[in-house]
Amino acid sequence: MAENKRKCFKCGRSFAADNVKVFRFPKPGIRNVLRCELWAQFMFPDKEFSSVALQTKLFTEHRMLCQNHFRNEDFTDASKTKLISTAVPSQVKLYIPINEPQPGPSNRLALRDVTNVEESSTVPSQVS
């Protein structure tokens, strides 16, 4: 399969367009039962993800997920080129497109002036 046709099943990102690494669905088998089930559940939460037939289909159709769906601990090194053998997708990471507005100083409330910290930290006296 050509590198430029490989793309993430969940978000559609690819190496060619987005410079992200994609990883193939793990091969179903006795040693990968739980891992395959968790990958299938992430990809198809509404289907029978424990079905061996579905998992085999995902593997034979070369279904992939990009590096953004995994935690940093799931990679063998900082370059994120290879997953550890027990890596499963994480729903904690969210893909936020760059062109959407991001929270920043313009969206925050202005802080009050604290130039004279000593006076503002004293307790006001009560008037009787």
Residue among 91, 88, 83 nearest 33 (CA): 88
pLDDT band (50, 70, 90) for residue 91: low
pLDDT score recorded for residue 99: 53
The type of residue at 73 is E
Residue among 80, 92, 86 nearest 31 (CA): 86
Sign of CA dihedral 36, 38, 39, 45: positive
* Alpha helices (H) in 44-112, listed in sequence order: 52-60
What is the pTM assigned to this prediction?
0.64
pLDDT score recorded for residue 108: 44
Residue among 5, 6, 4 nearest 65 (CA): 6
pLDDT score recorded for residue 44: 86
pLDDT score recorded for residue 25: 93
**DSSP helix/strand/coil, 66:** strand
Supply the DSSP symbol for 64. Answer: E
pLDDT score recorded for residue 104: 52
Residue 21 neighbours by CB under 8 Å, 6+ apart? 15, 66, 67, 80, 81
